[in-house]
A and B are shown apart, each in its own frame.
Chain A
């Protein structure tokens, strides 16, 4: 058996097996973006604020613009709170 054939059998085949197993284990996580929140883990992301599309609220379109520019002030009246 020449040297290259020995190398192919004793190095190439084990590497191939390892690669197949690694793909089977981590492949899904590489394709799908994983869920980035687990209860109890710290939250290190920047605060973000989501608003509806401005055209979705025609009745309050002006107030949406006002809200975006931050020019209005209003006081909170009610609501609810919770912890988990």
Chain B
């Protein structure tokens, strides 16, 4: 993919689109693991976690932050580009209060070690778990 952020799938949609389990990078089992981890961590913390897997335009950090602008203040984006071997965790104004950069760096470290072993979904699940543990329960 080469283009700005709007060139990617702009319509965020819950669940698989089309026959993703066959055409996409993840198997059905991996997709259900991913869905469970996303749903559980979002429910526990009240923070909207989302995962983007795909190519970044250069510079990669700016692209990840441009993607994040589609979300809201209380959300966290885990953006991963397996082809470029880059990952970015982006927090917003409200989610950053509960998730300091140090906690994000720890999750990024854990994800990196899984990714370098080729375990994409395992890394994402581990990162989500660390992030949701670090952010704790919603205060309200």
Contacts and interface: CB of A to CB of B under 8 A. Distances in A.
B24 A73 contact: no
A66 B68 CA distance: 13
B109 A82 contact: yes
Pick from A53, A79, A84 the residue with the most CB of B within 10 Å.
A79
Contact of A67 (B72, B82, B89, B111): B72
Candidate in A37, A40, A75, A76 with the most chain B CB atoms within 10 angstroms: A76
Contact of B9 (A38, A48, A52, A74): A48
A50 B90 CA distance: 15
A77 interface: yes
Contact of B10 (A57, A70, A74): A70
Contacts of B34: 50
Nearest to A48: B53
The prevalent SS among residues of B at the interface is mixed
B90 A63 contact: no
B92 A77 contact: yes
Interface string B36-72: 0011111100111111111100001100110111111
Contacts of B82: 37, 43
Most-contacted residue by chain B among A35, A42, A77 (CB, 10 A): A77
A54 B50 CA distance: 12
Interface of B: 1, 8-14, 17, 20, 23-29, 34-35, 38-43, 46-55, 60-61, 64-65, 67-76, 81-93, 95-96, 99-101, 104-105, 107-109, 111-113, 115-120, 138, 140
14 contacts: A42-B83, A43-B54, A47-B52, A49-B9, A50-B38, A52-B50, A56-B42, A60-B74, A68-B12, A74-B69, A75-B93, A76-B65, A79-B101, A84-B112
Given A48-B54, A78-B99, 17 more contacts: A37-B25, A43-B81, A45-B53, A47-B53, A50-B35, A50-B52, A53-B35, A56-B39, A63-B73, A67-B72, A73-B69, A74-B69, A77-B92, A77-B96, A78-B96, A80-B104, A84-B113
